[in-house]
Structure formats: structure tokens, C-alpha cells
């Protein structure tokens, strides 16, 4: 398709992330916002004023009557996924852009993937931290071979699982060239956060065996290591790779650092997760993928599914004990099973 076609966009859910998305679509000449929706009228009106008065509704189904956007974007809480995916597919959209995590259970995620695959609809999931200059630098160092053969990739976040863990897994999979995961072992503790709008165990840890022999280690929540170099609590994430000749890691709120075979000591550089920096290229690559099917978006939904699957396998392991082999089939809803299984 030509590089100057304008793609029409509907954005549903105009909270923090919906507004980030709407802003980035509005600022990119390749897109035109044709519809906006939020159940909160004030938010909806404010957004409509800001983005040139497109069609609006407080009910997404009503909004979609007669609108056939190229891109259906929704940024609602994690409990609202499958219904929105179906709505996007039924609207005839070519691409659905949505927020992590992709579902609440494996059963739901399998259904989401079936619906979009059957319809041939592209999906993009907002694991956009990778656009940070510090994330890019770490990837570049690892890919250059400067830390030798990678044997371990790791990611930790003090933020809890349903907020943070698919981010961690997405980036360690990237640092490990998206190798397939074969099995995981997991453990979890604490039930306070099951009542949150991102229901999670308070702490969760997982070991991942990748098919290329690399070990993955992930931890999320209350008990994950602090990153004292970073002040902003949500950005206390440390994600990196160790190789035979060094290491390279990114601190979400505090730049990058590495030792490579030639660095003669620690080298480091700047970078801090910043929506204003990361959203424009994330949105541009949606246009690129729509223009050219070969330019698959780095945050494509198939990759997000792989990360979600690993996270759910870690939960299953904490419930069932032992190794959980991938790929996963349908099963008991993981969060409910975990809440039942964890002590007090």
C-alpha cells in the first residue's frame, strides 16, 4: 500500500494510556482519529475537544455503528480484552492496537489469538519501553557479540505481575533473539494484590529454559530486588543479559551499563522510560506494518502472546509445582488457582 494513505483510527478508553495513544496518532500524519469512546463523559469530551471533534460515544458498540476504522485501538483495564478484540475484528479493522497484558487467563488469551488469527487481523501490544535509547543500546551491545555468548537473560521489577511482568519477558525474549521457551518453573507469594485492578500475587519469580540453552530469570513485585539507582518506584526495573565475556543491562529509569570484552571496565550511558519519546516510533511502525506486511511491528501480538504464555506458565508452576512445558493449552484460570493455592 502507498506510503501516503491516511489510516483511520478509533480509540476506546481515554485514560492515561488511551490519551498517550490518541496523542501519538494525532501527531502522526499517517493517521486520522475518526472516533473516540470512554464511559466517563468528562474524559470523552475533553479528548474530543483536544483531537478535533471526531465521532464520540460512551458505548463502544454504539460508536462503531457505521465506523469502519483501519485501526481499532483500545486502552482499557486488563479485565476488558476479548470483548474489545471481537468488536475490533467485527468492525473490519486491519489492525488492533491494545495494552498489555493481553488477557486475564490462558483460556482468554488463546481465544483472543484464535479470533485475530482466523480473521487475519494484525495486532500490536504496547510493550513500547523498547524504544528507549537505553533499551536500544543494550540490545545493540548484546547483538554485536561484545558480551560473548549469551547464557543468561534476566528482568526484575518492584511493580507487581499483571502490571510489569509481560514487559520484562518481552524484553528478555528480545535480548535472547526471541528464542522459544521450552519450560518454566515458578514460585509466588502473598495475596494482597489479588484485589487490585491488575490482580497479581504480591511476588512472583520464574526460571525459563529457552530452546537455545539460555536461562531466563524473572521476578516481579514485593520481594524483587530494589534498583537503588532509580528513584521513581515504577521504573525500578533491571533487565539484561550476561554472556561469556561480559554483561549489558538497562535500568528502566536509570540508563544502561555494561562490561564488554573490550570495554576495560564498566561503561554506561543515559536513558529513562519516557512515553513522549517512546510512543511516536511505536505508532509510526503501525503505519509501516499496514503499508508493508513484511515490516512486522516489533511489538506484534504474536510476540506478546509468547510472553503472556510464559507468565501464565510460571503461575501454573507455582500452583502445580514442577516444570510446566510450553506451549500451554487451556486450563484452570491461573490467577484464581494461584489465589486458592497460596497460603494466608
List contacts with ligand NAD (CB under 6 A): 12-18, 37-40, 43, 60, 75-78, 80, 99-100, 126, 128, 163, 198
Place of cell 487467563: 105
Between 40 and 192, CB nearer to ligand NAD? 40
Smallest distance from ligand NAD to CB 171, Å: 12
Smallest distance from ligand NAD to CB 136, Å: 16
Kindly report whether the peptide bond that precedes residue 287 is cis, defined as omega within 30 degrees of 0.
no
Smallest distance from ligand NAD to CB 217, Å: 22
Smallest distance from ligand NAD to CB 253, Å: 13
Between 77 and 211, CB nearer to ligand NAD? 77
DSSP reduced 3-state for 234: helix
Q: 290-294 long-range CB contacts below 8 Å, 24 or more apart?
A: 290/1, 290/7, 290/70, 290/71, 290/94, 290/95, 290/122, 291/1, 291/2, 291/3, 291/5, 292/1
Between 137 and 163, CB nearer to ligand NAD? 163
Provide the CA 41 distance to its chain's centre, in angstroms.
Answer: 28
Smallest distance from ligand NAD to CB 62, Å: 11
Between 163 and 306, CB nearer to ligand NAD? 163
Smallest distance from ligand NAD to CB 17, Å: 3
Q: How much is the CA Rg of the chain, to the nearest whole Å?
A: 20
Between 128 and 209, CB nearer to ligand NAD? 128
Between 75 and 142, CB nearer to ligand NAD? 75
Smallest distance from ligand NAD to CB 101, Å: 7
Kindly report whether the peptide bond that precedes residue 156 is cis, defined as omega within 30 degrees of 0.
no
Cβ atoms < 10 Å from Cβ of 175: 27
Residues 24, 17: Cα–Cα separation, whole Å: 11
Minimal CB distance residue for ligand NAD: 15
Cell representation of residue 160? 507487581
Using alpha carbons, select from 299, 260, 329, 311 the residue that is nearest to residue 178: 299
Burial bucket for residue 183 (CB in 10 Å: 0-12, 13-18, 19+): middle
Between 37 and 138, CB nearer to ligand NAD? 37
Amino acid at each position: 500500500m502507498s506510503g501516503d494513505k491516511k489510516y483511520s483510527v478509533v480509540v476506546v478508553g481515554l485514560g492515561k494510556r488511551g490519551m498517550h495513544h490518541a496523542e501519538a496518532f494525532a501527531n502522526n500524519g499517517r493517521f486520522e482519529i475518526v472516533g473516540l469512546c470512554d464511559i466517563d463523559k468528562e474524559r470523552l469530551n475533553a479528548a474530543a475537544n483536544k483531537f478535533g471533534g471526531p465521532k464520540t460515544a460512551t458505548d463502544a458498540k454504539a460508536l462503531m455503528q457505521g465506523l469502519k476504522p483501519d485501526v481499532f485501538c483500545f486502552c482499557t483495564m486488563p479485565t476488558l480484552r476479548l470483548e474489545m478484540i471481537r468488536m475490533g475484528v467485527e468492525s473490519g479493522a486491519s489492525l488492533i492496537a491494545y495494552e498489555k497484558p493481553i488477557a486475564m487467563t490462558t483460556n482468554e488469551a488463546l481465544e483472543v489469538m484464535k479470533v485475530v488469527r482466523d480473521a487475519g487481523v494484525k495486532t500490536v501490544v504496547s510493550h513500547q519501553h523498547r524504544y528507549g535509547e537505553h533499551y536500544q543500546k543494550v540490545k545493540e551491545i548484546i547483538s554485536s557479540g561484545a558480551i560473548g555468548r549469551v547464557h543468561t537473560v534476566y528482568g526484575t521489577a518492584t511493580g507487581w505481575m499483571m502490571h510489569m511482568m509481560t514487559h520484562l519477558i518481552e524484553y528478555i525474549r528480545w535480548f535472547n533473539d526471541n528464542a522459544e521457551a521450552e519450560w518454566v518453573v515458578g514460585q509466588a507469594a502473598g495475596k494482597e494484590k489479588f484485589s487490585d485492578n491488575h490482580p497479581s500475587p504480591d511476588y512472583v519469580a520464574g526460571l525459563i529454559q529457552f530452546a537455545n540453552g539460555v536461562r531466563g530469570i524473572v521476578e516481579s513485585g514485593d520481594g524483587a530486588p530494589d534498583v537503588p539507582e532509580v528513584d521513581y518506584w515504577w521504573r525500578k526495573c533491571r533487565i539484561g543479559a550476561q554472556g561469556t565475556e561480559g554483561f549489558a543491562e538497562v535500568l528502566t529509569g536509570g540508563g544502561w551499563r555494561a562490561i564488554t570484552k573490550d570495554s576495560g571496565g564498566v561503561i554506561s550511558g543515559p536513558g529513562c522510560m519516557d512515553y513522549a519519546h517512546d510512543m511516536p516510533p511505536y505508532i509510526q511502525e503501525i503505519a509501516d506494518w499496514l503499508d508493508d506486511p513484511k515490516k512486522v511491528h516489533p511489538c506484534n501480538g504474536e510476540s506478546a502472546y509468547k510472553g503472556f504464555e510464559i507468565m501464565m506458565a510460571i503461575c501454573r508452576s507455582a500452583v502445580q509445582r514442577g516444570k510446566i512445558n510450553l506451549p500451554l493449552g487451556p486450563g484452570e484460570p491461573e490467577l484464581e488457582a494461584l489465589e486458592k493455592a497460596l497460603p494466608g
